[in-house]
Amino acid sequence: MNGNQHLFIPGPTNVPEPVRQAMNLPMEDMRAPDFPEFVSGLLTDLKKAYRMENGRMFIFPSSGTGAWESAIQNTLRPGDKVLMSRFGQFSLLWVDMAERLGLDVEVVDVEWGKGVPVDEYAKRLEADTRHEIKAVFATHNETATGVTSDIAGVRGALDACGHPAMLFVDGVSSIASIEFEMEKWGVDLAVSGSQKGFMLPAGLGLLGVSDKALEANKAVSNAGMARCYFSFEDMIKLNDTGYFPYTPATQLLRGLRCSLDLLLDAGMDSVWARHKRLAEGVRAAVAAWEGCELVARGPEWASDTVSAIYVPENVDARDVISGAYYKYQTSLGTGLNKLAGRAFRIGHLGSLNPVMLCGAISAAEMALVDAGAKIEPGSGVAAAQAQYRDTTPATVTASAKAA
């Protein structure tokens, strides 16, 4: 009767119809003799999405947080020193996990709205002549603030001083959406999840692991952290036969197969370019809204997967989110932690197109006006339309439509 409830949060994202249909099948035997062929192809193609040729991919039945934990437990020892930065809710949570797992965390706190402080990392790595820092952590895309960081720059800082530390990357809201080059950038462990750029329900923790990180895993085998469910060793042993050490989420794996087909058929470069075009339309809308601005403190930080938006001083962002949800059937992302009540978020990743985002911008605009914002109705939509009309290709291929 009233149409669809519209989803524009930065994850879970919209599930394309072909992916949904791929998961709509009877339960299957995860020990069947033909299952290994399916698993082998899935792991191979997942590496293509991560842009890696060597190393390994692991698929855990978990959220991205589980893959975070696995990355740490399998390559580091309690008491190891690591370099991290905090500039949003999710980078904050990663620091918290590292501390709770017993690492000696050297934290660089950064203003929310900026990202990984590459210059500060470079100074600290240069000063670490004894190479006590065993790993450098970088949140590629901070989902809470709509900020993207320079991972290639972090690799450059490591290489400039010949530092051997491993490079850990949180790519949960970046991989399969914005440019990510695991091998080219020398990333050793990269975490993602099924519910964002891979356009699936939550439930799969995806972890790319370099050859260097696999060697680190072997080095800590008898002296590392306790682990069981997230053990590399157990996964490798069974994955090499085409199976898993425990019951896999088979329907999600079938959906992932379809999602990878859509992404790889479109081409990762094309997927990245589409996300940039979509993000630029949202940013144009925000610029047109009087009293609103991005949380990202400059264009060099602005994310192509999610925009966190400060509301005018006289407006409570929670009223905007509530109004959009109840009155206009549109889910917008909430402001997290210190941004609660001050900002809302529009997710623009996954299976989206310009017309869908014009709907999101319209709903946000109406809810802003209802909440007391003194903005001109239609201003944001018009700005986004102009941006999309100028940048959207005249023809969209079938695979690009789905992805």
Q: What is the pLDDT of residues 125-158, one digit of tens each?
A: 999 999 999 999 999 999 999 999 999 999 999 9
Radius of gyration (C-alpha) of the chain in whole angstroms? 21
Residues 6+ apart with CB under 8 A from 219: none
CA–CA separation, 65 and 172 (whole Å): 9
Q: Span 234-240, mean pLDDT?
A: 96
CA–CA separation, 295 and 311 (whole Å): 10
What does the pLDDT look like over 274-288, one tens digit per residue?
A: 999 999 999 999 999
- Least confident interval from 213-222, 301-310, 319-328: 213-222
Residue 86: how many CB atoms within 10 A of its CB? Answer: 20
What pLDDT does residue 392 have? Answer: 94
For residues 403 and 266, the answer to whether their CB atoms sit within 8 Å is yes
* H-run or E-run covering 362: helix 354-370
What pLDDT does residue 1 have? Answer: 64
Residues 6+ apart with CB under 8 A from 267: none
Its CATH architecture, for the domain 6-12+267-402, is: Alpha-Beta Complex (3.90)
On the question of a common fold for 6-12+267-402 and 17-265, the answer reads no
What pLDDT does residue 401 have? Answer: 59
Q: Span 236-256, mean pLDDT?
A: 96
On whether the 17-265 domain is CATH 3.40.50.620, my answer is no
What pLDDT does residue 398 have? Answer: 53
- What are the phi and psi torsion angles at 144 (to 5°)? -75, -30
Domain ranges for the chain: 6-12+267-402, 17-265
pLDDT exceeds 90 at position 223: no
pLDDT band at 403 (very low <50, low <70, confident <90, very high): low
pLDDT exceeds 70 at position 400: no
pLDDT exceeds 60 at position 173: yes
Residues 6+ apart with CB under 8 A from 73: 101, 224, 225, 226, 227, 230, 231
